[in-house]
Structure 1
Amino acid sequence: MALEAGAFESIHPSRFICFTIPNPSCSDSLLRVAVLDSHIQPADDSPQVGGMLVPDGREADWIFSTESGHSQLLYSSQGISRLILVGNQLKEGDCTSNIYHRPLECSLHQQGFEVWSKPLLLALSPRSLFKNGIPEIPLLNYEDNLISSVVIHRCVGCLVGEMLVEDVEIEIESENGIHHSSLKREFRRRLRFKRMPNLIQTEIHIVPETDHSCDGVSIKDVEFMLDHRVLVHPYLAPMVASLSLISENIARQIQDGFKPKALCLGVGGGALLTFLTTQLGFEVTGVENDGEVLSVAKHYFGLEADESIRVVIGDGIEFTKKIAYHKKMHNGSSFASSEHNDFDHFLDAKISPNFDVVMVDLDSRDIRNDTSSPPLEFVRRDVLLAAKSILSENGILVINVIPLSKSFYESLENHLHEVFCELHKIDVRNGENFVLIAAVSPQISPVSDHCDSFLMQLKSVIPESWINSISKI
């Protein structure tokens, strides 16, 4: 389809156009050009335009090949009204697209991209950008720590849509003495959704089955073992650190012969559920709204439903409200079997839960509103009251928060203050996530580790710095 003359002269909120052009540096190849306008119209009619080069070998990655990926790149580029992506056009039938190895240098950079791209970026800029002369279009850099990756599974969920499981090799900073750090390589398994490809839904540590150093391993040729002893997803360890607030109560419960209970709204790959059971001895109920996600969690992330882990397929918010109502109307004592496709069947077991902790890891499905967590529906007073009602007397509600806006975050804090006795916070320090902890009763810090066996165990499996970073608000 031919582009109309003047198609790019104005910003059209949320408009996405993708086309190919001949590669000026290589006559037998094409470039893919994608133009996305922000969903917010510039208030003063002074749009900002940014150009971005797709990393070599990442052309098939959903981050760079889908509108949802482009949207998240745009929204993470503050102040940019139009984002223009330029990359090599992936050849049809290219079977190497499932495998990526980071090149030493981008081929387009070698071919003088900074020079020949300037006329292209200017031609794709809105007319109002030229009111003070010829503008400078900044070239934005996309950087992450990915060294190599291989896609090991693709599937489609009835609610989340297309998803993939990939093994990756990444570079992470490693402390090397006081005030010194170095980069080390590590293998991980990831779950990503196409609707939000820039967001890693689940990430766990994996190790080669045979003794290999990272430097000598080609990721596509190695079999890996899952390592559930450590939480590598940025906000999961802070969420678990919240248990320090009720550690004495949990320790007494364990001494009396009872397992502590957790309800996890949002399962993903199940890393949190598995960690709570294997490392901390919890009995966990997980709620996930897409059965295919649970299937992936079992086959690729080691989630095992048994007497310690029970999973329910359905909406986490609706489940919370129904189980709160069921608790109010009935008295029971035992859980149902390990997996159910229907809430009513699960509730027919006449359970009367008093969870020690409810952990919420739910995100918004609305890409146009950027990534946010929890969903707006969860912030309603009736939902928060339902969550409070299924907690024990000393229970806590723990929420992974990715604020949609400052006002959203403040509103969430206010609603939690209205319903719960105390509110605490952990800054995950990644520029994105916060963990909010709402307590049913006033929390008393433990006197010492030696008097609190559960706190000692907790500090042995997560960094103590997260525990120390909990602040009351």
Structure 2
Amino acid sequence: MSLLPRTADEFSSAEYWERFFRKRGEKAFEWYGDYNKLCGVLHKYIKVKDKVLVVGCGNSELSEQMYDVGYKQLINIDISETVINHMNQRNAERRPGLSFQQIDATETPFEDGSYQAVLDKGTLDAMASEEEGALATSMLTEMSRVLNVGGRYVCITLAQESVIKLAVELFVKLGWAVRLHCLQSDTRGEEEDSFALPVFVLICTKFRQPMPMPILEMCLGEDGAPTRFTQVSELLSTVREHQSYSVLRKRLRTCADVTSNVSLTLCHVKTGLPRYTLTVQDCGPGAKVPKANHFAIFIVPQGSETSWLYSSAEGQKQLASSANYRRLVIVAMHRNQEYQNMEAVQSELSPMVMDLAPPGMPPNHQVPFLSATGDLGWREVVSTGVSDLSGEFCVENIRGEDGELYRRLVFLSNTALIQSESRLVSPKTAGHKKKGKKKVKPTTPSAVPSSSLTVDTGFLCCEHHKRMVAGLSMLRINAQQKNDNPASVLLIGLGGGGLPQFLRDFVPGITVEVVELDPSVFEVAKEWFGFRPDERLTVSIGDGLERIAAFETEGRVYDAIMFDVDNKDNTVGMSCPPASFVEVPILQKVCSLLTPRGVFFLNLVCRDSLLKKTLLERLKSIFPTIVSGDVEGEVNQVLLCSKGEKEMPDTTNILQSLGQAGKTLQSTLDSNKTGSNPHIDITELIKEMKIV
């Protein structure tokens, strides 16, 4: 029969505790730890000569052990007559000066200011569940009365939010100083049913005059340096983080197979800013893992954390399978944090990640740190700003795993999404196409000043942009069309401007009209991504949907209309485009804006299979032919929706015709006279396309 409470309300019931101690009998019940675990903190805040009131003493050995080490002025009170009689009998001979009295902690007979310390081990937790905290409030008020100036209320607690909030707010209102110690226990070797939550020690110090500003502090362990907070909510949030980590740590230490990805963020102790994100990935039950491969840590290079392999659940599973360890912890570093080198990162992470090791790992087992490049990678934030529409953003240079340098635009509201990316080249290499498969020598960032780097307009970083360019094959573009039949493109969404600049620079005679909602993005594109509009490449600031409606009224037509717009609402299953862009009336307007040979290009990122199915059915009802260019290893899918092709219902014929047109387009791109070279293989991209 379980001796633990069946409901929370039983914690504060005198009848419950009577039943509890009768069943428990002679065996001491150490609520939240014994003297050996708590003595480090207790000796900090309770002096041996202090007169100490121990509330809700139960049959714990804590007071007896404190008495034995020199605390001779301990007055123990409890609501249970059974436990008081038992404790008096147990200590009558060995500890005659140790007093146990049956007294209600909410109404004591003691004089004002008669104690230097009040020690509470679990009593606040027991009382706070009844009458919405009224009982606990009465006890805390009584304890504040019996404490003298400079006295401390020392409470050992699990810090359930309602409990700790009640106590902290009460003492802050009284003008006392409040400090919490989080005693994170070592879970190694624990049984599966042992305690998971960390024990906290709350210390509230009484001042002669109330403090004008609240003093709120948190310490890790018994000797940790205090972190100061300005609001109670900040302190409570930190408590929740430690509790969540403790539960997670316990789960990982006792569970042999974490079937779903588990992630946690480690923050800088002083600043509180995120420093590392750790994702735990276990190999499946049937995986053939070498016996010695228990556990490993994989360090993701800076700037690579958004790639499919490191950021998606599928990619992380693939990475874990390749590493072939029972458990792999994937570590991503955060921007605006400094990291010295791989050795320093290993040293910083080692004490923490060992808590996440799988059960059964031998003691003192050497845990390897793995990486893709052998170093931490490189990242440099070159600009920051705030958009009225999208919030804070940063422009950063990074070194890719291929050794090349890249520039990115990232909105901090969704750091997992790269808004725009371009490859950077030095003036010496700009305009020269690398031939062969010679391994690229990693660039030393410090040797290349940012001011001397330029954007390679012939290189498209985004795979979906490459498929959009390949999709122009459906327009049957060739080098002679510059004067005879130039193509016109309407692009909704500018980003860094890489796609429209590529089209302008390499497709003869093409005209590109871009509509961008955010003026900040336009300015960033010009300042940091080398975007240069001209008479063939124009940009207007405005709402894309409103412009489409206006263009339809004006009777405009385009050979290609491209939607490359991200969804700011990341709570839905479709992150590109926003749902309003693919409603039937909008799609019908898009179709009416296309020339007879026209094609609608849609960059679709949809994780909701039902939503994707509905959208495809909607597109099929409007466009006769839809060709899909899926991005391997990513969620992106480029849909090429043709207004024509009615005369070619046969799938094979459509793809063969597209392949021939692709060769012509490749030749057209390669024949440009801009001095640069397009780094794209149209033929290979078309081979991967299929009819939807």
TM range (shorter): 0.5 to 0.7
2:399–2:443 contact (8 Å) kept in structure 1:
no
1:63–1:197 contact (8 Å) kept in structure 2:
no
The 1-side partners of 2:480 and 2:618 are apart by: 30
Q: CA deviation at 1:159?
A: 0.8
| Among 513, 516, 520, the residue aligned to 1:285 | 513
1:450–1:456 contact (8 Å) kept in structure 2:
no
List alignment gaps of at least 5 residues for structure 1: 11-18, 38-45, 79-84, 91-95, 119-140, 173-184, 328-351
The 1-side partners of 2:574 and 2:268 are apart by: 26
The 1-side partners of 2:409 and 2:523 are apart by: 12
Q: Secondary structure at the match of 1:111?
A: helix
Letter in 1 for 2:487: P
- Is residue 351 of structure 2 the alignment partner of residue 112 of structure 1? yes
Letter in 2 for 1:438: C
Q: CA deviation at 1:256?
A: 4.3
The 1-side partners of 2:561 and 2:341 are apart by: 40
| Among 365, 369, 377, the residue aligned to 2:580 | 377
User: How many residue pairs are counted as aligned between the two chains?
Assistant: 379
Q: CA deviation at 1:108?
A: 5.6
- Is residue 360 of structure 2 the alignment partner of residue 148 of structure 1? no
| Among 449, 454, 471, the residue aligned to 2:665 | 454
Q: Looking at secondary structure, tell me which structure has more strand per residue.
A: 1
CA displacement, residues 122-166 of structure 1 (integer Å, 9 cap, x when unaligned)? xxxxxxxxxxxxxxxxxxx99998711111111111211111111
In structure 2, relative to structure 1, the CA distance for the partners of 1:450 and 1:98 (3 Å cut) is same
CA displacement, residues 329-365 of structure 1 (integer Å, 9 cap, x when unaligned)? xxxxxxxxxxxxxxxxxxxxxxx3x211111111211
Q: Secondary structure at the match of 1:168?
A: strand
Letter in 2 for 1:235: H
1:262–1:285 contact (8 Å) kept in structure 2:
yes
| Structure 1 equivalent of residue 687 of structure 2 | 468
- Is residue 615 of structure 2 the alignment partner of residue 412 of structure 1? yes
1:251–1:454 contact (8 Å) kept in structure 2:
yes
In structure 2, relative to structure 1, the CA distance for the partners of 1:217 and 1:410 (3 Å cut) is same
In structure 2, relative to structure 1, the CA distance for the partners of 1:211 and 1:276 (3 Å cut) is closer
Q: CA deviation at 1:404?
A: 3.7
| Structure 2 equivalent of residue 235 of structure 1 | 464
User: TM-score scaled to structure 1, two decimals?
Assistant: 0.67
| Structure 1 equivalent of residue 417 of structure 2 | 199
Letter in 2 for 1:320: I
- Is residue 406 of structure 2 the alignment partner of residue 188 of structure 1? yes
Q: Secondary structure at the match of 2:606?
A: coil
In structure 2, relative to structure 1, the CA distance for the partners of 1:215 and 1:189 (3 Å cut) is closer
| Structure 1 equivalent of residue 532 of structure 2 | 304
CA displacement, residues 219-274 of structure 1 (integer Å, 9 cap, x when unaligned)? 78443111111111121101211112222xx3387154343111111111111010
2:602–2:639 contact (8 Å) kept in structure 1:
yes
- Is residue 395 of structure 2 the alignment partner of residue 165 of structure 1? yes
Letter in 2 for 1:227: D
Using the aligned pairs only, state the percent identity: 23
| Structure 2 equivalent of residue 122 of structure 1 | none
The 2-side partners of 1:48 and 1:6 are apart by: 27
The 2-side partners of 1:59 and 1:153 are apart by: 23
2:471–2:640 contact (8 Å) kept in structure 1:
yes
List alignment gaps of at least 5 residues for structure 2: 1-156, 163-195, 198-215, 229-236, 245-257, 279-304, 315-329, 358-368, 431-440, 649-653, 672-677
CA displacement, residues 59-102 of structure 1 (integer Å, 9 cap, x when unaligned)? 9679969xxxx9x99x9558xxxxxx9999x9xxxxx9376676
- Is residue 494 of structure 2 the alignment partner of residue 264 of structure 1? no
Q: Secondary structure at the match of 1:369?
A: coil
Alpha-carbon RMSD across the aligned residues, in angstroms, is 4.7
CA displacement, residues 4-51 of structure 1 (integer Å, 9 cap, x when unaligned)? 9334999xxxxxxxx9965669955979978599xxxxxxxx997824
The 2-side partners of 1:467 and 1:233 are apart by: 16
In structure 2, relative to structure 1, the CA distance for the partners of 1:6 and 1:314 (3 Å cut) is same
- Is residue 473 of structure 2 the alignment partner of residue 244 of structure 1? yes
Letter in 2 for 1:440: K
Letter in 2 for 1:457: T
| Among 481, 490, 498, the residue aligned to 1:254 | 481
In structure 2, relative to structure 1, the CA distance for the partners of 1:26 and 1:288 (3 Å cut) is farther
Q: Secondary structure at the match of 1:304?
A: coil
Point out the structure with max Rg over C-alpha: 2
| Structure 1 equivalent of residue 589 of structure 2 | 386
CA displacement, residues 252-301 of structure 1 (integer Å, 9 cap, x when unaligned)? 87154343111111111111010010122321011110101100001111
Q: Secondary structure at the match of 2:486?
A: coil
The 1-side partners of 2:274 and 2:448 are apart by: 17
Letter in 1 for 2:264: M
1:56–1:106 contact (8 Å) kept in structure 2:
no
CA displacement, residues 284-332 of structure 1 (integer Å, 9 cap, x when unaligned)? 01111010110000111111121011111111122112211221xxxxx
Q: Secondary structure at the match of 1:231?
A: coil
In structure 2, relative to structure 1, the CA distance for the partners of 1:227 and 1:362 (3 Å cut) is same
User: TM-score scaled to structure 2, two decimals?
Assistant: 0.47
